[in-house]
Amino acid sequence: MAQETRLNLMRLLASRGASGMAAGEVAAALGQVPSTLSFHFAQLEEAGLIQSTRQGRSIIYALRFAGLRGLLGFLGETCGAGRPDLHRDLARLLPDDHQEDRRMTATYNVLFLCTRNSARSLIAQALLEQLGKGRFNAYSAGSEPADAPVPEVIERLRTLGHDVAHLRCKSWHEFTGPEAPRMDFVITLCDTLEGEDCPDLGARPITSAWPLPDPTKFTGTAVERATMINALYAMTRRRLELFINLPIASLDEMALRKRLDELGDATRPVA
């Protein structure tokens, strides 16, 4: 911390508390070249004074208050021996350790696509909102959105305890432009999207295809249709349970794409 850049970095992160800052924001605030600043990040993280996590496609750094508390204790004992009144209250000025642990959790944005955005993608959105709460933000859209969701699908989701009030059919163009959330994963749930190319969704997300049966094409009695929707729900849930347990942070893009494609391969059993 005797190095000026590292000291300024610590001061900046301290001002942001447990929520931290993106690496790019830190570089801009300190007027440092990102490649140079990464060296200082590494030094401070190795010393246990800061911590990092991936949120979306950004790396977030935050002060590690437990490490700073230990440093203050060491300095107090070493430099203030015999005068405990000079340092005994310093640690009380720092947040509790659990605050930093609660904030530094990686989150990922996932967009589910199908042509009409009326059934499959809504099921996937509702499921991921429930299964991945706190780690995944779920969205859905379509290339040719329907006027309204399939009523049987919405009713089944409601019966299974999902919040359906916000579920609606929407165009994928809602997720383009600078104000749209940046996607980490885009998963298509139908064989084709009416022959259209996926629009520009910002920095390249990891894409995959999980073709699933279309409930709008189900035929038969009401009981048979309900059985089919239940089967679709179960198929989607099982894939998402495996997806949220992938070691995302430790896999490179190619390996992660391969794992997602394996989940969507209908010829492979979903363990």
pLDDT digits (tens, 9 = 90+) for 76-124: 666 665 565 555 555 455 555 444 444 455 688 999 999 999 999 999 9
Residue 58 lies in a domain: yes
Q: Which residues pair with 171 in a beta bridge?
A: 142
Q: Please tell me the least confidently modeled range out of 4-13, 56-65, 139-148, 250-259.
A: 56-65
Residue 269 lies in a domain: no
Same domain, 21 and 113: no
Residue 163 lies in a domain: yes
Higher pLDDT, 200 or 139: 139
Same domain, 84 and 146: no
Residue 270 lies in a domain: no
Q: Which residues pair with 209 in a beta bridge?
A: 188
Burial of 242: CB neighbours in 10 Å, binned 0-12, 13-18, 19+:
middle
Same domain, 39 and 148: no
Same domain, 96 and 115: no
- C-alpha 249/C-alpha 99 separation (Å) is 22
Burial of 187: CB neighbours in 10 Å, binned 0-12, 13-18, 19+:
buried
Structural domain count of the chain = 2
Same domain, 12 and 46: yes
In terms of residue numbers, what domain contains 202?
108-264
CA 22 to chain CA centroid, Å, is 15
Residue 271 lies in a domain: no
- C-alpha 79/C-alpha 66 separation (Å) is 20
Residue 160 has pLDDT above 70, yes or no: yes
Same domain, 149 and 209: yes
pLDDT digits (tens, 9 = 90+) for 38-70: 888 888 888 888 888 766 567 888 888 777 777
pLDDT of res. 3? 87
* SS3 (DSSP) at 150: coil
Contacts of 184 (CB under 8 A, 6+ apart): 56, 57, 108, 109, 110, 205, 206
- C-alpha 86/C-alpha 202 separation (Å) is 52
Residue 252 lies in a domain: yes
> Domain containing 50 — which CATH number?
1.10.10.10
Residue 179 lies in a domain: yes
Same domain, 128 and 199: yes
